[in-house]
Amino acid sequence: MKASQLFQEAKADLTLLPDAETSLIEFCRTAQRIMSNASSNYTVTRLYQGTAVAFMAVLLSLISNFKFSLKLTRDVKYFLLVVAGYSSLMFASSYVEEEQQFWYWALTGWICYLYLRTCRRATSSFQFGSALCLAALSRIARRWNQTGQKFAAEPDIATTFFSNHPNILWILALFTYTDVYQRLKPLGLEGRKVNIASALYLPLTSFAFIFKAAFTSADAPELIRHTPLLSSLVGSVQSFLFFSKPDSFLLGYAGHCFMVPLQNLKQAGACNIEGEQIGRLHSTLY
């Protein structure tokens, strides 16, 4: 309002024109600051602090790489190339939304480097198959979820393929929980005779899978509707409290995390508790 008033007065008195121009410049700067904060309200001080922390992280990683050897190997050269590329792309305007694209290309380059380094040592087709498998897995990971803004509307595996093929989704989920069961089982029972404690791991992973299916049924029922076996499984557990399934899983996993170190202490003889008392505690909890 002040700038407009001064311009109106400057039409009659030209001596007021410099004051009107100064007032208009102040108004434009104020409007620019308000519009800039409306689109991106960044705190410049914190941006400087984040840049300093990132620089320290790079410096510490370089120190750890050169700690054991001062030789500039090919691995270190690739690491420096990735750091330089990542640092330069930090100044791109839309890089914040598409950061994952850089890491996808860095992974592809690393796979190519590993293949070229190993193929010189052996002529077996196993190296080519391994590189091809890694390349296929990286491609699947790249199209699993669309992230950022530029490709958010593009089709991907998680939202497009699995919504049309839910059976494949649940087969992969079942394989995942089976792998978790196989990894949990040897953790406390490796090299031991199978006993009652081995029955803990199967219901533990089963509760986790049932909770996953029930949660998916409540959040995205279209992924369960066309899978009759899972639909009947979820329907059979609807009578239980919804939060009893994660509670059962967490309690079972907590018992597993408590008993495995206790069993290791019992075997090593590093615990002051008498062996008879440990055995009684073990039989009580299991």
Question: Would you tell me how many other CB atoms lie within 10 Å of the CB of residue 249?
Answer: 20
Question: Would you tell me how many other CB atoms lie within 10 Å of the CB of residue 130?
Answer: 15
Q: Please write the tens of the pLDDT for every residue from 23-61.
A: 778 888 888 877 776 666 667 788 788 888 988 888 887
Q: Please write the tens of the pLDDT for every residue from 228-247.
A: 777 777 777 666 645 454 55
Q: Please write the tens of the pLDDT for every residue from 106-158.
A: 888 888 888 777 776 655 566 677 778 888 888 888 888 777 667 777 788 87
More confident residue, 204 or 174: 174
State yes or no: pLDDT of 272 exceeds 50: no
Q: Please write the tens of the pLDDT for every residue from 148-203.
A: 667 777 788 877 888 888 888 888 888 988 888 887 765 444 445 555 556 677 77
Burial class from Cβ neighbours inside 10 Å (0-12, 13-18, 19+) for residue 183 reads exposed
Segments in 90-153 forming alpha helices (H): 99-119, 125-142
State yes or no: pLDDT of 274 exceeds 70: no
Which pLDDT score, from 0 to 100, does residue 286 have? Answer: 42
Listed ranges 96-110, 188-202, 265-279; the one with the highest mean pLDDT? 96-110
Question: Would you tell me how many other CB atoms lie within 10 Å of the CB of residue 169?
Answer: 17
What angle in degrees, to the nearest 10, is found between the helix axes of 125-142 and 99-119?
180
Question: Would you tell me how many other CB atoms lie within 10 Å of the CB of residue 197?
Answer: 19
Distance of alpha carbon 132 from the chain centroid: 24
State yes or no: pLDDT of 260 exceeds 60: no
Which pLDDT score, from 0 to 100, does residue 39 have? Answer: 61
Nearest to 61, CA basis, from 47, 45, 46, 82: 82
Q: Are the CB atoms for 188 and 204 separated by under 8 Å?
A: no
Q: HSE of 64 in the Cβ direction (CA atoms, 13 Å)?
A: 7
Q: What is the DSSP string of 65-89?
A: HSSS-----HHHHHHHHHHHHHHHH
Which pLDDT score, from 0 to 100, does residue 85 have? Answer: 83
State yes or no: pLDDT of 277 exceeds 50: no
Which pLDDT score, from 0 to 100, does residue 156 have? Answer: 81
